[in-house]
Amino acid sequence: MKDFRTIWLNESGYVEVIDQRILPHKLEIIQLRTHKDAVDAIKNMTVRGAPLIGATAAYGVYLAVREMIEKEFDGNFLDSAFEELKASRPTAVNLFWALDKMRECLDKSDNFLADSLSQANSIVSDDIETCRMIGVHGLPLLEEISLHKQGKTINILTHCNAGMLGCIQWGTITSPIYQAHLKGIKVHVWVDETRPRNQGSNLTAYELTRHGIPHTLIVDNTGGHLMQHGMVDMVIVGTDRTTRNGDVANKIGTYLKALSAKDNNIPFYVALPSTSLDMNIRDGLTEIPIEERDQNEVKYLTGLRSDGQIDSILICPETTSARNYGFDVTPARLVSGLITERGVCEANENGILSLFPEFSIQSI
């Protein structure tokens, strides 16, 4: 796998991605030869994570251009490819953003094939660079703890997967961890399994294994106990949306870990690309709508049977109903700081504007 990325071009110029639906049990590479393959990969969640969805859509446009030229289709083909890609995940902001970029590029292009490829490549390399810089700025926080512990292993707790698997490379919360590891700093990660979809046990544990990072899987209930007993030095989580005031929406259960970190004086950081900042809202608790998902994600769990088959099992009485909230909001008062591609800042308006002064005009 090319440097362990989540999306790449093969020798024939076709796109390849990891099938994330069957991780960690099977590693299968899927080839995308047409824009329809890209649509399917996004739709059926072969790929997930905002940056990776955006990148897949961008390459999907490039594949459509290629097909159009090879088969001598007219411009209508390209228009409907855009529409199909746009409809593949109706709420993914990053998808629309990537498609707009591709459209802009084609609008002023006289070499569709070369330009669409180069624009898609640049969307991908921008994401890689953003994630790398989050690591560059987060690394000193880990170095400081390591120094304070006189080189003993740093224990970092994380929730969900804000790793490279949702991005292209590096990931957000994993970027400082991978960079610390490469520098020889001893790190160990407590991986919350992150029910109901278990992105921790399925994805974070998988990519840490691939990178050779020592880690231990725990159920989501365990973090408080570990923090009470000095077994966690730092918490880092990702975010889907962070408000102007520094309130952080992230995977359900993040708030409980933040409370526990506060109660035990443990730093709680949020790693994010600035594209996750929503400067148009202030109060995360009242202004961020929380997605409710299918109750079967709670009632059933997917894993590997002893006969090697991937299967789903029912884990409660069949008649019991469940509620499945996807996210919760951690109030800014519980957040030690935001780690962004431009530096680390306090989780409040002044902190954010000190790094991103261009957002000040959007004052609300």
Q: Indicate which residues carry an active-site annotation.
A: 240
- Pair of tokens at residue 244: 């102007």
Residue whose C-alpha is closest to residue 160's, from 191, 187, 189: 191
Task: Determine if 51 is a binding residue for its own copies (CB under 8 A).
Answer: no
User: What secondary structure letter does DSSP report for 88?
Assistant: T
User: Residue 222, interface with its own copies (CB under 8 A)?
Assistant: yes
Q: Does 153 participate in binding its own copies (rule CB under 8 A)?
A: no
| Residue 111 in contact with its own copies, rule: CB under 8 A | no
Smallest distance from its own copies to CB 221, Å: 3
C-alpha span between 287 and 283 (Å, rounded): 6
Does 317 engage in binding with its own copies (CB under 8 A)?
Answer: yes
316: contact with its own copies by CB under 8 A: yes
Q: Give the nearer residue to its own copies in terms of CB position, either 22 or 136.
A: 22
CB 63 within 8 Å of CB 31: no
Question: Using alpha carbons only, what angle is made at residue 203 by residues 310 and 301, rounded to the nearest 5 degrees?
Answer: 40
Taking CB under 8 A as the criterion, the residue among 106, 136, 259, 353 binding its own copies is 259
For the beta carbon of residue 363, count every other beta carbon within 10 angstroms. 9
Question: x/- site string to its own copies, residues 325 to 354, per CB under 8 A?
Answer: x-xxx-------------------------
239 touches its own copies by CB under 8 A: no
Instruction: Determine if 194 is a binding residue for its own copies (CB under 8 A).
Output: yes
Give 237's strand partners.
270
For 274, which DSSP code? Answer: G
Binder to its own copies among 265, 321, 350, 363 (CB under 8 A)? 321
Sorted by sequence, the CB contacts under 8 Å of residue 63 that are 6+ apart come out as: 14, 15, 32, 33, 34, 35, 37, 38
What is the rounded CA–CA span in Å between residue 151 and residue 149?
6
Convert residues 24-43 into a mask of x (bound to its own copies by CB under 8 A) and - (unbound): xx------------------
Whole-angstrom distance, CA of residue 208 vs CA of residue 189: 9
* Residue number, 53 or 227, with CB nearest to its own copies: 227
CA dist., res. 124 & res. 121, Å (int): 5
Q: Does 263 bind its own copies (CB under 8 A)?
A: yes
Q: Which of 107, 323, 357, 358 binds its own copies (CB under 8 A)?
A: 323
Residue 93 binding its own copies, by CB under 8 A: no
Q: How far is CA 310 from CA 218, 248, 303, 306, 313, in A?
A: 22, 34, 6, 9, 10
221 touches its own copies (CB under 8 A):
yes
Check residue 219 for interaction with its own copies (CB under 8 A): yes
In this structure, are residues 56 and 17 in contact, taking their beta carbons and an 8 Å threshold? yes
Given the rule CB under 8 A, which residues bind its own copies?
24-25, 191, 193-196, 198, 201-202, 205-206, 209, 215-226, 228-229, 251-253, 255-257, 259-260, 263, 285, 290, 298-306, 311-317, 319-325, 327-329
